[in-house]
Amino acid sequence: MISTADFRNGLVVLQDGDLMEIVDFQHVKPGKGGAFVRTKFKNVLTGRVLERTFRSGEKMEDVRLEEKAWQYLYFDGDLFHFMDPNTYEQIAVGAATIGDNKVWLKENNNVNLVFYDSKVIKVIPPITVTLVITKCDPGIQGDRATGGTKPATLETGATVQVPLFVNEGETIKVDTRTGQYIERA
């Protein structure tokens, strides 16, 4: 159990049966009445953000999440399969758990799996991935001087905006947090 005095950004607590991550909090001491804590939570599973107010010193249950590096193996149409590189243990994860991160998963790349009670609750792709452009309009000579962009479809199905001089078949680096082009690889 932790109290509101132990709050810090990134701490995960069990609130109303949901895993909630503290995004922001503020201790408030009004001139009249008792102190309280305004807190902004983000649901770990759904991503929904909500704000709650607690009396100072109120207690709640903290949660221990375990994050481990695993290797992404393949997708069989229903499940995504991962392997622990140390023990060679394999685990299958449903598409609902992966969510929008599925477009950044490339076979044999390392990802982080977040576990709660021995169950995978979140898949975190690497910060940058190197992928091949499979579909893209051709660049036009002379378009290099402007800062224009065009859509490009990558080998995993993701669509990102790339500079006009980048062509189909090239390998590029993409930031998975924002989905933005970084550079040619």
Same domain, 72 and 58: no
Same domain, 10 and 36: yes
Q: Kindly report, residue by residue over 55-66, the tens digit of the pLDDT.
A: 888 888 888 888
Instruction: Domain count for the chain, please give it.
Output: 3
Residue among 120, 124, 92, 100 at smallest CA distance from 110 = 124
Question: First CA to last CA across the chain, in angstroms?
Answer: 48
Express each pLDDT in 27-40 by its tens digit.
Answer: 888 888 888 999 99
Using CA atoms, how far residue 21 sits from 6, 16, 141, 159, 175, in Å, is 13, 13, 49, 29, 23
Band the pLDDT of 80: cuts 50, 70, 90. very high
What residue numbers bound the domain in which 84 lies? Answer: 66-124
Same domain, 46 and 71: no
Give the separation between CA 46 and CA 161, rounded to whole angstroms: 27
Examine the fold and report which residue of 47, 62, 77 is the final residue of a domain before the chain moves on: 62
56 and 10 share one domain: yes
120, 135: one domain: no
> CA triplet 9, 10, 16: central angle to 5 degrees?
100
pLDDT band, very low/low/confident/very high, at 145 (cuts 50, 70, 90): low
CATH number for position 91: 2.40.50.140
